[in-house]
Amino acid sequence: MKKILLSLIIIGAVGAVVAGVTTAYFSDTETAVGNTITAGTIDIKVNDANPWSSPFTIGDLKPGETDYMNLGIENVGTNPAEIYKSIKGMIGAGGNCVHTCSVGLYCASSQPECLAENGTPQDEIQTQIFYDLSVKIYASKSDYTTGKSPVWWQTIETGDQTLDTVYPDDITSIDLGMLPVGGYMFVEQSYHFNETAGNIYQGDVLTFNMEVEARQLAQSAEGNATVTLENKGGAPDWAIISGDDIQGTLTYKTKGPSFDYDLVAKGLTNNGTYRLIYYSDPWNNPEIVTLIGGVVNANNSGVVSLLGQSVNLNKDLPESGDANYPLGAKIWLVPTASLTGSTLSWTNTGQFLFDTSLITYDDTDL
């Protein structure tokens, strides 16, 4: 019994010492009240309408003629957004029934069409419409309407492909680029009727749905966004060179203490050396650029695959001195032969992979 009592006394004494030690230290407590998390918005206005559903109509288009279906897209949300455009439900039809063909006994829009088709209707007019697509981005709609220069532009389709080739199915979408908050994107689309189409397409009608989609930049659970890097034809159109196998993809974290990224590219010079750079406008030759990471080595097949890269930029993208601030930054992959330290000269531009979209990065360590 004495041993039990002695044990209890010891335990009580230890507890008193512990409690005494806990309350003896200096302390200070601060409380943040009313913390909030607010979800951002992704919202666009197309041709001054939100929602937008107004159809375009091109009438009486003849071989050799060109007409337009242009779009004005305004970012009225609270976040930058990547803009995609698609055509869905494309259907070519024979048009109005005006003349009954003596061969085949079907109805066509004219007697010349009957003679040209010779009993076999040809309604796929989309195979005869050549399509071009270019994009210009302005800081605001007001800048566009008052004739100010765009901050970024590129030509995506140069008119050498037919509509059914550019949009072969309902799931194909074209990335038009990143539209900053408050920014305005002018999208020029021309439809050129093949001058050699012939009478078999007289009176034919093409119908389709046009869809414009704005997506948030960060698409993965890790908060990563992507931008495609392409070889381009240069000024003034900066047309993407299509039909080759030269391309890169930069996957990057849009916010964080370091710029974390993956870089995958193909079609580069075999065993060539490159650098990833941030090009701050205005244009100069030469221009001091920001180098991102170390030297990039293509393998003997001209392929680069860099995963899990991280660099402390110690700046937001774009930086405040950039002529494109705060809209977005240009990221390029360039051959080391075009660099002297961090000074870029406009040499070997045929080997550059240029941005197809501006990017933004928030350095949370600043």
Are 182 and 233 part of one and the same domain? no
Q: Which domain holds residue 240?
A: 224-363
pLDDT at 38: 62
What are the DSSP calls for 146-181, one per residue? TTPPPSEEEEEEEEEEEHHHHS-STT-EEEEEEE-T
pLDDT at 280: 96
Report the distance separating Cα 335 and Cα 338, nearest Å: 6
CATH of the domain at 66: 2.60.40
Are 174 and 287 part of one and the same domain? no
Rounded to a whole number of angstroms, the CA Rg of the chain reads: 30
pLDDT at 36: 62
- Cis peptide, bond prior to residue 257, ω within 30 of zero: no
Assigned domain for 36 exists: no
Assigned domain for 5 exists: no
Element (H, E) at 178: strand 173-179
Assigned domain for 309 exists: yes
Assigned domain for 29 exists: no
Assigned domain for 6 exists: no
Closest CA to 61 of 207, 188, 202: 202
Are 61 and 206 part of one and the same domain? yes
CB 251 within 8 A of CB 225: yes
Are 189 and 61 part of one and the same domain? yes
- Domain boundary, last residue among 216, 251, 274: 216
Are 285 and 180 part of one and the same domain? no
Report the distance separating Cα 257 and Cα 362, nearest Å: 8
Number of domains comprising the chain = 2
Are 275 and 336 part of one and the same domain? yes
Are 236 and 211 part of one and the same domain? no
Assigned domain for 156 exists: yes
Return the structure tokens found at 237. Answer: 């159109």
Are 194 and 304 part of one and the same domain? no
Note down pLDDT in tens along the chain; length 366 residues: 444 333 433 334 344 444 444 556 777 777 777 776 766 667 878 899 888 888 888 888 888 999 999 999 999 999 899 999 999 998 888 777 777 877 777 777 777 777 877 777 777 889 999 999 999 999 999 999 999 999 999 999 999 999 999 999 999 999 999 999 999 999 999 999 999 988 888 888 888 899 999 998 876 777 789 999 999 998 888 999 988 889 999 999 999 999 999 999 999 999 999 999 999 999 889 999 999 999 999 999 999 999 999 999 999 999 999 999 999 999 999 999 999 999 999 999 999 999 999 999 999 999
pLDDT at 19: 43
3-state secondary structure 74-97: EECCCCCEEEEEEEEEEEEECCCC
pLDDT at 21: 47
Are 353 and 248 part of one and the same domain? yes
pLDDT at 12: 43
- Domain boundary, last residue among 159, 194, 216: 216
Assigned domain for 282 exists: yes
- Domain boundary, last residue among 216, 239, 267: 216
pLDDT at 216: 87
Are 268 and 206 part of one and the same domain? no
pLDDT at 341: 96
Are 234 and 274 part of one and the same domain? yes
Assigned domain for 14 exists: no
Are 81 and 98 part of one and the same domain? yes
Report the distance separating Cα 252 and Cα 279, nearest Å: 17
